[in-house]
Amino acid sequence: MSKNNINILQKYLPENACESINDLIVKYSVRFEISRERTTKLGDYTRLLTKQHKITINYNLSKFEFLIVVLHEFAHLLVNEKYKKRTEPHGKEWKQEFAILLQEYSQKEIFPDNIQKAIDLCIYSKPNLTPSLRENLSKIVRNFSTSVLYVEDIPENAIFVLKNNRSFIKLEKVRKRFKCKEVNSNKSYLVHPMAVVKSYRLESEEC
C-alpha cells in the first residue's frame, strides 16, 4: 500500500489516523490486506518466507476498533524487527511496543473519552496490558459497532444461532472459550468468545 491508498484507509480508520498508519505501512513495506470476517480473530500479523511483513485486518470493525487492532498487529511487527531472540506472542516485549503505540495515538486526540480512559488504564497500569484490561478495552470499543453481537455478550444458558445457522446453548467459560452444546446433535464444543451471533433467546422464552 502506498500514499495513493490513503483513500482506502479512510473507509476503515478515523480520518486523523490514516496518514500515520499509511506511513508505517510504507516504512516497513507491509503487505496490508483488508480481510473477510473471521470468527477467531480480528487481525493477524505474519512474517512471510520472503521476510516481508503481512498484516490482515477484518473489514467489519468499527473505525476505532480497526485502529486498535492495526496497532496491536504493528506491535507484533516491531517486536519481530527489534528482537532476534524468540519472544512470547503477547509477552513483555509486545506489551511494551503496544503501550508505546497506544500512547502515541492517544496524543493525536483520536479516541472518544470512554475509549481514551480504557486506553490510559492499559498504558499506565503496572504491569500494563493485563488480559482483563485488554478485554475491557475491547468491550468499550465494540460499543461503537452496535450491529455486532458476540458470544461473550449473551447470557449463560441462552440459545443462540451463529452465522453458519447452527444453534447452540451457551454454557460455562473454559479458559478462553465458552463451552456450548449444539442443539441438534447435543455435542459439546468450545466456541470463541468473539464468534458473531445472528440471534439468541433465553430457554424460557417462547418462540
Same domain, 42 and 95: yes
The one-digit pLDDT tens for each residue of the chain (207 residues) are 555 678 889 888 988 899 999 999 999 999 999 998 887 788 999 998 888 999 999 988 888 889 999 999 999 999 999 986 678 888 889 888 998 999 999 888 888 877 888 888 877 765 555 556 666 677 667 665 555 677 887 888 999 999 889 999 999 999 889 999 999 999 999 998 878 888 888 764 432
| Residues 155 and 135 both lie in one domain | no
156 and 54 housed in the same domain: no
Note whether 137 and 169 are same-domain residues. Answer: no
Residues 114 and 156 in one domain: no
Question: In this structure, are 73 and 122 located in the same domain?
Answer: yes
Rounded Cα distance between 62 and 146, Å, is 9
SS3 category, 62: coil
For residue 33, being part of any structural domain is answered with yes
For residue 207, being part of any structural domain is answered with no
Instruction: Report the DSSP pairing between strands 197-202 and 188-191.
Output: unpaired
Within this chain, do residues 97 and 156 fall inside the same structural domain, yes or no? no
Predicted TM-score (pTM) of the model is: 0.68
Domain residue limits at 67: 3-142
Tell me whether residue 54 is in a domain: yes
For residue 140, is it left (φ>0), alpha (ψ between -120 and 50) or beta? alpha
Separation between Cα atoms, residue 115 and residue 119, nearest integer Å: 6
